[in-house]
Amino acid sequence: MSITNYLLGCPIWANKNWVGELFKPKTPARDFLRQYATVFNTVEGNATFYALPAPETVSRWKEETPEDFRFCFKFSRTISHDLKLVGARDQTTEFLSRLAPLQDRLGPLFLQLPPSYGPNLLPGLEKFLRALPNEFQYAVEVRHPEFFSNSSAQLDALLSDVGVDRVIFDTRGLHRAKTNDPSALEAKREKPDLPVQFSSTGNRPFVRFVGHPDVAENLPFLREWAGVAAGWLAEGKSPCIFLHAPDDFYAPRLAKHFHRLLSEQSSVGDLPAFPADQQENKQEQLSLF
């Protein structure tokens, strides 16, 4: 049993609050990735936005994941936010070199540009993307409002030309939540409320969905995305779908719902049981004796 034909995961794998929810009870932190990778076949690597991992850490990540697992790491903020892609050749080389030992465990690496990075800087983005080595896959996330109106076609044409996917960031569930939950309020402050682009510019559509804190409230959005993903699969594309929640506690559960909805329309394999549920079933079986 495993997911096939697309990538499905969460923004992180090391969440101690998932012990008993996704992970088996009493799971130590050193086993989080191994257990996570028995269920999902990808993960966003947001930690690389802040710091690069040590070489021995990269080696351990490869050892702890199966061959079909893919890490989708975020470019360093030094490259995207501090330098805004200008004069970032050495930093980019270091970023790619540090992750290169993962080899085929690497999925699309995604470049998240700051809200201040507008259409006037598109020539710099084009120069940066065309200089990237072609042995890796890439995706770009923009947050400047003009990229969702007048300059959308210009950006999409550039990304299509260089074979790079446009990250689709959907925060509708989050921003429609009427809640006083501290984690949801913090997420609302951090995540932009921008129009959703459903078009794909490459062969690996890259979706980041940030959900409502009430799991059930997300089902209409997830059903909509399942239909979009099914269309991409029918076109021969391989979507990358990442489910977020305000504090990410419910992210695995949202991913589980999404896979169920997509499997009603496409052949995408089976989502393995959560290790926590496997443990529960084992205990129930033992109780029979």
SS (H, E, C) 94-145: HHHHHHHHHHHHECCEEEECCCCCCHHHHHHHHHHHHHCCCCCCEEEECCCH
Q: Decide if 1 is inside a domain.
A: no
Q: Decide if 83 is inside a domain.
A: yes
Instruction: Return the pLDDT at 199.
Output: 85
CATH code (residue 178): 3.20.20.410
Q: Decide if 51 is inside a domain.
A: yes
Low-confidence ranges of the chain (pLDDT < 50): 284-289
Q: Decide if 96 is inside a domain.
A: yes
| 268, 32, 55, 83: CA torsion to nearest 10 | 70
Q: Decide if 170 is inside a domain.
A: yes
Separation of alpha carbons 276 and 22, rounded Å:
5
Which tokens go with 64?
């702890």
Q: Decide if 244 is inside a domain.
A: yes
Q: Decide if 11 is inside a domain.
A: yes
Q: Decide if 2 is inside a domain.
A: no
Range of the domain at 118: 7-287
Cα 133 to chain centroid distance, Å, stands at: 22
Give kind and range of the element (H or E) at residue 271: none
Task: State pLDDT tens for residues 2-12.
Answer: 999 999 999 99
Structural domains of the chain, count:
1
Instruction: Return the pLDDT at 286.
Output: 40
Instruction: Return the pLDDT at 279.
Output: 58
40, 258 contact by CB (below 8 A): no
